[in-house]
Amino acid sequence: MQITQPVRAARNRLEAALLRGTLALPERAQRALAGRPVVRDGQTLAVDTQLALRLQKLARLAGAETLPIPEGRRAVLHHSSLTGGRQPIGAVRRLTLGDPSTGPGRLPARLYVPTGATTPGPLMVFFHGGGYMYGDLDSHDASCRFLAERSDVRVLAVDYRLAPEARFPAAYDDALAAYRWAVDHADTLGADPARLAVGGDSAGGCLAAGVAIAAAEQGLPLAFQLLVYPATDAVRDTDSAAMFAEGFYLTRAFMDLANDSYLDVDTDLKDPRLSPLYADLPRALAPAYVVTAGFDPLRDEGEAYARKLADAGTEVELRRFPDQIHGFFNIVGVGSTARAAMEEIAARLSAGLA
């Protein structure tokens, strides 16, 4: 029997309410439900995160990577709808970036304007994660609202082309084109050209890092880069990639599917547009705030990139949230520990563009 849209929506609301209520229980009750603490590499997984992972398993929510791409995209949206909640924001504008006669084409985007925003004010161009094959403006809507409202920074989220329909370097080309468009249209966005940032999570963090490198090379204004557990090394031969390959949301199978979907067989995994860890970093790179999660396969490559930035003379701050998993960026509507981490990230974004 086919499930109708109203029934599906009602079920989703019920699932979200149950998750929100369970993760609002006292910590002692959450621990009883979650089981014994999970300790890896000297780190203890946050109890609300551990409980959420257990509930996902009990509910038999399939990982996106286990499904055909279209169904996987719907699964990602479903996961984010469960954890994002309803986040307040001053205003949201729907935009289309680009000129159809030039570049890779026109890109849908959303501009999140915080309550009480000044004009001109700071703005971050944001690229969502999802392994270059999942994610869109809706999957990261709650997080972009949260960041914008709490940092007092406008956020311009970009819907770049996805794989396998558009393969490497399509996402990189779109990201760079979108940032150039934002620079050229700063006035219409209410942005101060001296206070522009790029940001992204996971694959989007890779795109943001790549745009920052190109901006420095091409003389484009850029004041800050926010890289949240960025994918910086497609080779992925690290201790964390092996240690957290299963059981912590992002899996080895997901990462393998991402490479298979986005890359051709002859793509150089060390191409700087894909793996900024191997880039020759230019001088005058924008200051960076690099965020990693303790229970994340991408942890070590993100921290290696932070060290590379520092060695190149870039001002960089590395912040590991040792009790978090890959994906905590999207958990702003339930639980407490991921939301607290996001509050800290928003404060740092605000300070970086003050």
Q: Of residues 79, 128, 140, 326, which has the active-site annotation?
A: 326
Say whether 202 is catalytic. yes
Q: How many CB atoms lie within 10 A of CB 147?
A: 30
Residues in CB range of 250: below 8 A, 6 or more apart: 202, 244, 296, 297, 298, 325, 326, 327
Would you call 267 helix, strand, or coil by DSSP?
coil
Say whether 79 is catalytic. no
**In the β-sheet with 121-127, what is the strand arrangement from edge to edge?**
91-97, 107-113, 154-158, 121-127, 191-201, 224-228, 288-295, 316-325
Q: Of residues 136, 201, 296, 323, which has the active-site annotation?
A: 296
Q: Of residues 202, 240, 261, 275, which has the active-site annotation?
A: 202
Element at 3 (helix H, strand E): none
Say whether 296 is catalytic. yes
In one-letter notation, the amino acid at residue 69 is: I
Check: CB of residue 298 under 8 Å from CB of residue 250: yes
Q: What is the 8-class DSSP label of residue 237? A: -
Please list the active-site residues: 202, 296, 326
